[in-house]
C-alpha cells in the first residue's frame, strides 16, 4: 500500500510539474492509472484531495486556477518549486543536525527531521562527515518538554495570539488567572519559561511553565503592547534566581544533596552528622529556589531570607 501511494503521488507531481496549463480533476483522473481504478467519483475525489494535501505538505507549491468555463484546474509552476543552490559548509551542516535533535520531544520533531532529509537530498553533508565522530559523538543536545502548556504556548507565540491560563506562584496557596500576550519561550537550567505582556498588570512578566495549572486558552484580538526586538528571558530569570546577587547567604545543606547549590557556593564546610555549611550568592528570587530543595536546606542567615523561605514553605504546606 505504501509503495502504491508513493507511486501515485509521484505520478501526480509529475503531471502537475510537466503541464503548461492547469489540468482539471477530470484530466488528471484520466492520466493517472490509480485514479482510473477508483471505484466511484466520491472515492476519487477523496483520494485526490488527500494526495494534493500530502504533496503540499512535502513542499510542492500547487496553484489553483479557474478557467473561462469556470472549471478549476491545478498546476505546479517550476519557477515556484525551484530553490537556489543550497551550500553549507561542514560546521553549518553539523549545527543544523544538532538543532534538529533538540526538538525530538516536541511537535516540531517531524518537521525538523523532514527538513534535514530534504537538505541531505540536495547535497548537504552528513553530520558524521562534517565533524569527527570520535570527538563529537558525546554532544547530544536535549531540551525536555514535559509541560502540557509548552505546545499551545509555542503556537501562540508563533501566531501572536493572546492566551489565558491559571498560574500558581511558588508562595501562593491557589493559582490566579493571567491574561498574557506571549512573546517567546526559553529553556534555562532544565525549566521552560514564557516571556510576555501581562495585560492585568500592564507590564512584562516571565512565567515558569511548570507552575501553569489547567489548560492554556487562546483569546481573540490583536496584541495591545509592542513586541520588543530582543526579549531577555534568561537575563530576567537569572536576576530573579539571584544570579546577579551582590550579597551572600549562609545555609546548611544535607550531605549528598543540592548539587546545583554546591556548584554556586563560594565556600563549603563540613559540619558532620550528614550536613555541610555553604556560602552562596544571594539575590532576588533565591528564596523560591531554596524552597525546591525542601528539608535538605536550612537557611542560617540573613534573617530576611530565612523568613521568606519559611513563609513559602508554610504556603506550600497549606496546599
- DSSP line for 151-182: HHHHHHHHHT-EEEEEE--TT-SS-EEEEEEE
Quick: pLDDT tens for 96-136. 776 666 555 555 556 666 666 666 665 655 554 444 444 44
pTM of the model: 0.46
Is residue 7's pLDDT more than 70? Answer: yes
Q: For residues 204 and 236, what is the distance between their CA atoms, to the nearest angstrom?
A: 10
Q: For residues 160 and 178, what is the distance between their CA atoms, to the nearest angstrom?
A: 17
3 compared with 73, residue with greater pLDDT: 73
Contact 197, 225 (CB under 8 A): yes
Which of the four pLDDT bands, split at 50, 70 and 90, describes residue 179?
very high
Quote the pLDDT of residue 136.
44
Is residue 244's pLDDT more than 70? Answer: no
Highest mean pLDDT among 39-48, 91-100, 121-130: 39-48
CB atoms within 10 A of CB 205: 15
Quick: pLDDT tens for 184-239. 888 776 778 898 999 999 998 889 898 899 899 998 888 998 888 877 777 776 66
| Percent of the chain surpassing pLDDT 70 | 76
Is residue 154's pLDDT more than 70? Answer: yes
Contact 238, 193 (CB under 8 A): no
Quick: pLDDT tens for 269-306. 999 899 999 999 887 677 878 888 889 999 999 998 89
Quote the pLDDT of residue 229.
80
Mean pLDDT over 247-269 rounds to 90
Contact 51, 8 (CB under 8 A): yes
Amino acid at each position: 500500500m505504501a509503495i502504491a501511494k508513493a507511486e501515485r503521488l509521484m505520478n501526480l507531481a509529475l503531471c502537475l510539474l510537466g503541464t503548461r496549463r492547469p489540468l482539471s480533476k477530470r484530466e488528471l483522473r484520466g492520466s493517472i492509472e490509480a485514479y482510473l481504478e477508483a471505484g466511484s467519483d466520491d472515492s476519487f475525489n477523496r483520494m485526490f484531495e488527500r494526495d494534493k494535501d500530502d504533496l503540499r505538505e512535502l513542499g510542492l507549491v500547487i496553484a489553483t486556477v479557474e478557467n473561462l468555463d469556470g472549471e478549476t484546474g491545478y498546476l505546479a509552476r517550476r519557477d515556484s518549486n525551484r530553490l537556489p543552490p543550497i551550500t553549507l559548509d561542514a560546521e553549518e551542516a553539523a549545527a543544523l543536525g544538532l538543532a534538529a535533535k533538540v526538538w525530538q520531544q516536541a511537535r516540531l520533531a517531524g518537521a525538523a527531521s523532514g527538513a534535514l532529509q530534504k537538505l541531505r537530498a540536495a547535497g548537504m553533508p552528513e553530520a558524521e562527515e562534517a565533524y569527527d565522530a570520535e570527538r563529537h559523538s558525546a554532544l547530544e543536545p536535549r531540551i525536555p518538554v514535559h509541560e502540557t502548556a509548552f505546545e499551545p504556548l509555542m503556537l501562540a507565540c508563533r501566531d501572536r495570539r493572546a492566551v489565558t491560563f491559571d498560574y500558581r506562584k511558588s508562595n501562593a496557596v491557589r493559582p490566579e488567572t493571567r491574561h498574557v500576550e506571549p512573546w517567546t519561550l526559553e529553556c534555562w537550567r532544565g525549566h521552560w519559561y514564557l516571556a510576555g505582556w501581562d495585560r492585568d498588570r500592564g507590564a512584562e512578566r516571565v512565567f515558569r511553565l511548570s507552575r501553569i495549572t489547567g489548560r492554556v486558552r487562546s483569546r481573540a484580538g490583536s496584541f495591545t503592547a509592542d513586541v520588543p526586538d530582543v526579549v531577555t528571558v534568561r537575563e530576567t530569570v537569572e536576576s530573579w534566581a539571584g544570579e546577579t546577587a551582590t550579597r551572600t547567604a549562609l545555609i546548611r545543606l544535607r550531605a549528598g544533596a543540592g548539587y546545583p547549590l554546591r556548584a554556586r557556593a563560594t565556600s563549603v564546610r563540613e559540619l558532620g552528622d550528614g550536613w555541610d555549611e555553604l556560602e552562596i550568592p544571594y539575590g532576588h528570587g533565591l528564596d523560591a529556589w531554596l524552597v525546591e530543595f525542601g528539608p535538605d536546606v536550612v537557611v542560617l542567615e540573613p534573617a530576611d531570607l530565612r523568613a521568606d523561605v519559611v513563609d513559602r514553605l508554610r504556603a506550600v504546606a497549606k496546599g
